[in-house]
Amino acid sequence: MKKFAIVIPAFVILLFCTNVSMADDFSFRLSANQNALDSEFIGLFDVADSQLMGSIAGFYDTDDYKMISLNALIVDEVFCDGFTGGLGFRGAGGEAEKINNDGDILNLGFVCYANYDLSKSTINQYPITFSSSFCFAPEPLSFVDTKYFMEVLAECSWKVLDQAALVANYRYIKIKFKNHTNWKKSDNAGYIGLRFLF
């Protein structure tokens, strides 16, 4: 966890010291369910003919499970108007517990990202956006107690105001730990919340 604690300030400094005039937009999401809280801050920056999407996300579950992740992806519009694809990396750190087992999460995973904004579509111009991402960190990119890491995220947002949207999102996560008895932690849940756009 000490190594990851060094990466977080470095990422924040890089994100906020980048010339703000280059920023396309920022957004902040906060969503929750009965047992968990999920938040995310995203910044989009113009880079050559594409965009750099940097984000920091935090997740807390009352069932002894918490995690923070950092994302860096190159994204660009592909296939059709309103559809954006991206590739990059996600670093995650945290801890999980299950009965008498506990383990530290630390990994660097590959990420595939897709986003479809209907408001930019030539067919249906509704203020609705669908997005999803898939992250996988195999054993060589998993550290400390983590053996491998997989995460799937999906989100649907409805822009009700110029700078605010209602959000429904879903997370599936699976982690295998190599300490103690090689135990696994998996979780899947849905959330509702708000996203603010700047």
Which tokens sit at 147? 């053996």
Please count the CA atoms within 13 angstroms of the CA of 53 that sit on its side-chain side.
25
CA 178 → CA 14, 58, 93, 183, 185, distances in Å? Answer: 33, 24, 16, 7, 12
pLDDT at residue 47, rounded to an integer: 86
How far apart, in whole angstroms, are the C-alpha atoms of residue 81 and residue 123? Answer: 9
The count of other CB atoms within 10 Å of the CB of residue 171 is 20
Which of 151, 156, 112 has the alpha carbon at shortest distance from 131?
156
Residue 23's pLDDT is 54
What pTM does this model have? 0.83
In the DSSP assignment, the letter for residue 115 is E
Domains of the chain with bracketed CATH: 2-197 (2.40.128)
Strand locations in 99-138 (E) = 101-117, 128-137
CB 169 within 8 A of CB 152: no
Query: Which pLDDT does position 176 carry in this prediction?
Result: 93
For residue 1, the model assigns a pLDDT of 46
Q: How many helices (H) and strands (E) does the chain have?
A: 1, 10
What integer pLDDT is reported at residue 180 of this predicted model? Answer: 65
**Residue 85: what pLDDT?**
95
What is the distance between the alpha carbons of residues 85 and 112, in angstroms, rounded to a whole number?
8
Each residue's pLDDT expressed in tens, for the chain with a length of 198 residues: 444 444 444 444 444 444 444 556 899 999 999 999 999 999 999 888 889 999 999 999 987 789 999 999 999 988 888 899 999 999 999 999 887 788 899 999 999 999 999 988 777 678 999 999 999 999 999 999 999 999 999 999 999 998 999 999 999 999 999 876 778 888 899 999 999 998
Residue-level pLDDT at 183: 85
